[in-house]
Amino acid sequence: MTLPQAAQAPATTNDRAAVVLAAGHDDASRELITRPLGEATVVELAVANVRKIVADDRIVVVVAPGDTTVRGLLGDDLTYVEQQDLPGTGGAVLAARATIEAFATPAREVLVAYADTPLLRSESLLGLLTRHTLKSADLSLLAAVVTEDLPTYGRIVREDGEITAILEEEDRPADAGTGGTPAEVNVGAYVASPGLLFAELEAMLAGGEHRLTELARRVIAKHKSISSYRIYDTDEVRGINTPEELQEAADILLKRLFMPKKNTDTKIVFGTGGWRAIIGEGYTLANVRRLCQAIANETVRKGIDGLGVVIGGDRRFLSRESAVAAAEVFAGNNIPVTLLPDDVPTPLVTFAAPYLGAAYGIIVTSSHNPPEWNGMKVFRQDGSLPLDDETDRYQDEANALSVDDVITLDLAVARKAGLVVDKVLTEPYVDAIEKIVDVDAVRGSDLRVIVDPMYGTSQLTLGTILNDMRVRSEFIHASHNPLFGGIAPAPDLQRLSTLISMIKQGDGRYDLGMATDGDSDRIGIVDETGEYISTNDLLLLLYWYLHEFRGEKGGVVRNLATTHLLDRLAAHFGEESREVKVGFKHVTAGMEEIGAVLGGESSGGLTVRGWILGKDGIFACALVVEMLARTGKKISELREMIYEITGRLYTLEAGVDSTPEMRVAVPRRLEADPLTHIGPYPVVSISHLDGTKIVLENDNWALLRFSGTEPVLRMFVEADSPEKATELLDWLKGFVTAGV
C-alpha cells in the first residue's frame, strides 16, 4: 500500500541518493579538501557524515576530470562521475543525473552536499532529509541561525514563517551585517526529488546561470513549497576554503571530542578507572551487555573461556541488575560465571579473580562518582587492571556490536545448568587480609576507631577484620543508600565533615577515624584530634612503617600527582622511587618493575607488595590500625617523626569544570609560550607524561591534567610553604582561565 504524499514516512538509506560535490573550482580548493583534518582528511570527514544516512552504493561523488586522489581517499564502494563541460556547482550536480536515474531502485529524494564542509553533523543532514518528507516539500534547504557576519551565504527572508526570498551578497545593502542580531542564512545543502532537481538545473544552465544557489530562488519564484531545517551551532557552517579555515576546523574537531553528548552518543569509553557513564545515557543495560559480549569474545579468542569469570556489584542504582545481565551474557557464551551476592567491595573482586583462577573479574561500580553514575571495572586473571591497549580493544569491539550480536542465557536456566554459580567470598577475602596484617599485634591495644563507609560496601569486611582485632569500632553512614546521602562518596576533606565533627566532639574518645569510598578501594584518614590526614601523608607514614617496623625493602611508586616527599624518604632509605601516569594500573605495573614495597596515589588508593594488584581501602584501613598498635603512637606523633626525616612540603589541589574549548586552548598556549618561570620561581623542567607537570626547585611542582573519568581539569601543586602553594595554585587558575 502506498501512503498519501502528506503521510509518507521519511525515506530510508535505500531509497535516498546523495550527490557530494568534490570537483572544486581550482587546483587550490581541490588540494585543500585532501589535506589531513584530525585523523582523516577534509573530504573523508565530509563524506563520512553522508555515509551515515545514505547507503554507500547510492552516493555519487562528483570529481574533477582525471582525479584519482579523492577516489583513493574515499574508496571503491562509492560511485564517481567527472565534471566535464558543465560549469559551476549547478553543473556539478547535473553531472550526476544519469548515474542517479540509472539506480535499480529509483530515488525518492536526492541530498546535495559538499566535500569542503566536514563540520556539518550527520544529525543536521538527517534533520534536513526527515523534515523534507514530513513537510511534503518540493525543495528543502539547510539553514543556519548565526550572529556573525557571513557575507558569502545567502540571507533567508521570511514572511509569516514561509521563505519568500534568499538575498545573495550582491543583493544586500553594503551595511547589511547582522550586527550581533541573529540572522538566518542558506548553508547550501539541498534535498529535492530527482525530477525537480535535475529539470530545474537543466533549465538554469540553459539560461546561463550555473550557481546551485539559484535553485532555491527558482523554486520560490514558481510558488512551489520550500522548507528548511535550521542548525544553531555556527561551527557546522564553516567551509574549508583557506589553510586558516583548516586550522580553525581542526580546533573545532578537537573541541568536539570532549563535548558531552546526550542521547545521540552512548558509546562505551574506558577512562583511567574503567568504564563510567551517567545512568540512562551512556550507562544502560544494553551497553553492559555489549561490553560483556566483547570481553566474552576476547576470552574465547584467548582460549581461557574454561576458566570462567567472577562478577559482582556495589550498592549503586542498577548494579545488581547489571551484574545479572553480565552473568547472562557470559553464560550465553558458554563461559562459567561465579556470581557474587550484591554489595561487594571492588577489592574483593580484585582478590577473587586470582583466588578462583578466573579469566576475568568484573565489578559493577562507578567508584567515588556522584550517584547518577555507574560503570564497570575489569580485572585480569592476576587481579591487575588491563592497560590501555586492552581496554581500547574491549570498547572498540563493544561499540561495533549491535544488540543482535549479543548472546545471552536466562539466569534461571544458567543456574540450573551450572553455568552460573552463586558464591560468597567474604570469608576467603578477610582471611587473606588477616594473613598479611598482624591481627594478634593489634589485640590488647585497646584502640577505638570510628569508620565512615560513606553508604558504600566496606562495613561487612572491614567490620569483621576490626572485630577479629578486638578493636572497638563504630560505623556511621553504613545503611544501603544508593543516593549516598546526596554527595559523591569520595573520602576527602570536604565530604567527611560528620566523621571529623564526631572525633572532635569525642574529646579524646577515638584514636582514629577512617573512611572508604563507595566501592571501598580508597581510604580517608582523620587523626585523633579531628584533623584530616591527606593520602600523601598517609603514604609517607605507611612507607616508613613498612620499612622500619616490618623490615620491608624495595622502594615506592607514586603517580605524578602525589607528593615528592615519598622520593625524599626513598632516598633516605637508599631505595628507588618511581613516578607514573595517573591510573592505578600504572602504579601496580611500576611496582612490579622495581619490586616496590608500596604504591599509591594522592586520591586515596594504595596497595603493598604481596597483596592484590589493585587499590584496597579495606586492607589499607587494617594496615593503619596495625601501625598504630605496633608503634604505640598516634597519627599526629608519627607525622612529626617523618617530617624530621623528609622536611615538609605543602600540597593543594583544585578542579574546574573543563569545557571543550579549554581542552584545546590550554595545551596550545603551553606549547606556544614555553614556560621559564611561574611568577618569580624558575622552571627546572616540564613533563608531558600525563598532562603538563611543571617542576620547580626543591621538589616544588605544579600539575595541570584533564581527568580521564570526569569533565574536570585538575590542578595540583606542592611547595615549601602554604603561602607558596597558594601562590602556585592561583597562578594555575589564572593561566587556565586567561583567554578561555
Starting at the edge strand that comes first in sequence, how are the strands of the sheet with 712-719 ordered? Answer: 650-657, 712-719, 701-706, 692-695, 685-687
Q: Which three cell numbers stand for residue 155?
A: 540571507
Cα 226 to Cα 192: distance, rounded to the nearest angstrom = 10
Reply yes or no on whether the pLDDT at 10 is more than 60: no
Of residues 426 and 259, more confidently modeled: 426
Q: Which three cell numbers stand for residue 403?
A: 544488540
Judge contact between 352 and 358, C-beta under 8 A. Answer: yes
Confidence of residue 151 (pLDDT cuts 50, 70, 90): low
Compute the average pLDDT of residues 615-625: 97
Q: Which three cell numbers stand for residue 553?
A: 625493602
Give per-residue pLDDT as tens, 569-598.
999 999 999 999 998 989 999 999 999 999
Of residues 663 and 271, more confidently modeled: 271
- Residue closest to 285 by CA, chosen among 238, 310, 322, 245: 322
Which residue matches cell numbers 558531552? 260
Cα 22 to Cα 565: distance, rounded to the nearest angstrom = 60
Confidence of residue 672 (pLDDT cuts 50, 70, 90): low
Helices marked H in 165-276: 194-206, 214-221, 243-257
- Which residues have a Cβ under 8 Å from the Cβ of 610 and sit 6 or more positions away? 436
Handedness of CA 128, 129, 131, 137 (dihedral sign): positive
Judge contact between 587 and 601, C-beta under 8 A. Answer: yes
Query: Three-state SS for 290?
Result: helix
What pLDDT was estimated at residue 328? 97
Give per-residue pLDDT as tens, 680-695.
999 999 998 998 999 9
Domains along the chain with CATH numbers: 14-235+250-254 (3.90.550.10), 270-423 (3.40.120.10), 429-646 (3.40.120.10), 650-737 (3.30.310.50)
Compute the average pLDDT of residues 317-331: 96
What pLDDT was estimated at residue 67? 93
What pLDDT was estimated at residue 3? 35
Of residues 14 and 702, more confidently modeled: 702
Please name every residue paired with 144 in a beta bridge, in sequence order, or none if there are none: 185, 231
What proportion of the chain, given as a percentage, has pLDDT over 90? 72
Judge contact between 22 and 31, C-beta under 8 A. Answer: no
Radius of gyration for the chain, computed over Cα atoms and rounded to the nearest angstrom: 31
Cα 79 to Cα 56: distance, rounded to the nearest angstrom = 8
Handedness of CA 196, 197, 202, 203 (dihedral sign): positive
Reply yes or no on whether the pLDDT at 177 is more than 90: no
Judge contact between 235 and 120, C-beta under 8 A. Answer: no
Judge contact between 139 and 122, C-beta under 8 A. Answer: no
Judge contact between 245 and 28, C-beta under 8 A. Answer: no
Neighbours of 328 (CB within 10 A): 24
Encode burial over 46-55: b for 16+ CB neighbours within 10 A, e otherwise.
bbebbbebbb
Compute the average pLDDT of residues 174-178: 49
Reply yes or no on whether the pLDDT at 6 is more than 50: no
Residue 275 phi/psi, 5-degree rounding, is -95, 130
Across 320-359, the runs of DSSP E, i.e. the strands, are: 337-339
Cα 264 to Cα 342: distance, rounded to the nearest angstrom = 32
pLDDT-wise least confident of 62-71, 653-662, 685-694: 653-662
Query: Cα–Cα distances in Å, from 62 out to 84, 89, 91, 371, 606?
Result: 10, 10, 10, 52, 60
User: DSSP state, 403?
Assistant: G
- Residue closest to 700 by CA, chosen among 728, 735, 675, 667: 728
Of residues 317 and 172, more confidently modeled: 317
